[in-house]
């Protein structure tokens, strides 16, 4: 089961260092053997053959276009997708540009002077902080976590501009997690998902940083299970049953 780890790999990015531990833990705990390939954002033209795409943190990316392309490939080809931190932000960029028609949608980290800033600096940076996230009932993230709240870790200073919340939701994107002090009007968006897709989920928090890396966060485990299902479907076989926890 081949997954593309899209990001500009760096030993200075904590989530990147966690990935090998998480892959090992998925094998030991759930019996899921993932075959990860690191793909730099400058080389995302041929991702449609992967069973899963994980757009990892580490912005500013070397290629904003490449990161956006990875999200689009997953969305249009029905490939399980997980976007964490900057991965979530660029998932929103792709959706705004391609689905909502805001071709000039921009990220303030990359183009602070742009007219259509979809991603803007958070009022208070979340870098190095933890925060409570409230999850919408009946959504994918709520089903994955199994609760209506979750405490999560962040290394982030940018989030969705509330002015674009309604446009994105009117075009089908669901914002299923908000900061404890944020509302459903666009303030404090922390999770987004796309109903009808096999698995298309983005989180502003970094599930890679949960615990010590030996027990995969439920979001990562759910993504891995979706990868297994896609791989089995492509090969015409029944998906393997994960080992009991």
Q: What is the CATH number of the domain that holds 104?
A: 3.40.50.880
The span from the CA of 32 to the CA of 3, in Å, is 12
The span from the CA of 96 to the CA of 202, in Å, is 14
- Model confidence pLDDT, tens digit, residues 147-197: 999 999 999 899 999 999 999 999 999 999 999 865 444 569 999 999 999
Average pLDDT over residues 30-53: 96
Average pLDDT over residues 59-64: 96
- Residues above pLDDT 90, as percent of the chain: 84
| C-alpha dist (Å) from residue 115 to 24, 102, 185 | 44, 11, 21
The span from the CA of 195 to the CA of 13, in Å, is 31
Q: 78 by DSSP, 3-state: which?
A: coil
The span from the CA of 129 to the CA of 2, in Å, is 32
The span from the CA of 174 to the CA of 170, in Å, is 9
Q: Is residue 130 part of a domain?
A: yes
Q: Nearest 10 degrees: CA dihedral of 94, 99, 104, 106?
A: -30
Q: Is residue 18 part of a domain?
A: yes
Q: Is residue 112 part of a domain?
A: yes
Average pLDDT over residues 96-111: 97
pTM of the entire structure? Answer: 0.92
Q: Is residue 240 part of a domain?
A: no
Q: Is residue 8 part of a domain?
A: yes
Q: Is residue 242 part of a domain?
A: no
The span from the CA of 224 to the CA of 222, in Å, is 5
Is 239 within 8 Å of 228 (Cβ atoms)?
Answer: yes
Is 57 within 8 Å of 9 (Cβ atoms)?
Answer: no
**Residues whose CB is less than 8 angstroms from the CB of residue 53 and which lie 6 or more positions away in sequence, other chains included:** 3, 4, 6, 47, 70, 71, 73, 74, 79, 80, 81, 82
The yes-or-no verdict on residue 245 having pLDDT over 70 is no
**Confidence (pLDDT) at 240:** 44
> Number of structural domains, the chain?
1
Average pLDDT over residues 72-87: 98
Q: Is residue 143 part of a domain?
A: yes
Residues pairing with 29 in the sheet: none
Q: 171 by DSSP, 3-state: which?
A: coil
Q: Is residue 243 part of a domain?
A: no
**Confidence (pLDDT) at 234:** 87
> What is the span of the domain harbouring residue 58?
2-235
């Amino acid at each position: 089961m081949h997954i593309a780890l899209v990001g500009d790999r760096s030993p200075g990015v904590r989530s990147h260092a966690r990935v090998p531990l998480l892959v090992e833990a998925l094998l030991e705990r759930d019996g899921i053997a993932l075959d990860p390939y690191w793909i730099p954002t400058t080389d995302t033209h041929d991702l449609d053959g992967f069973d899963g795409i994980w757009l990892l943190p580490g912005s500013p990316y070397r290629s904003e276009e490449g990161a956006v392309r990875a999200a689009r490939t997953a969305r249009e080809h029905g490939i399980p997708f997980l976007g964490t931190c900057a991965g979530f932000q660029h998932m929103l960029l792709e959706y705004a540009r391609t689905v909502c028609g805001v071709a000039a949608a921009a990220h303030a980290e990359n183009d602070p002077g742009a007219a259509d800033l979809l991603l803007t600096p958070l009022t208070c940076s979340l870098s190095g902080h933890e925060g409570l996230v409230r999850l919408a009932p009946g959504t994918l993230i709520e089903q994955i976590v199994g609760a209506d709240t979750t405490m999560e870790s962040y290394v982030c200073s940018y989030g969705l501009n509330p002015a674009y919340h309604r446009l994105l939701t009117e075009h089908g994107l669901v914002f299923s997690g908000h900061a404890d002090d944020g509302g459903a009007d666009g303030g404090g968006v922390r999770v987004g998902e796309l109903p009808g897709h096999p698995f298309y989920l983005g989180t502003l928090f970094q599930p890679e940083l949960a615990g010590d890396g030996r027990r995969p966060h439920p979001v990562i485990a759910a993504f891995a299970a979706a990868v297994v299902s896609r791989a089995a479907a492509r090969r015409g076989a029944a998906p393997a049953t994960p080992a009991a926890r």
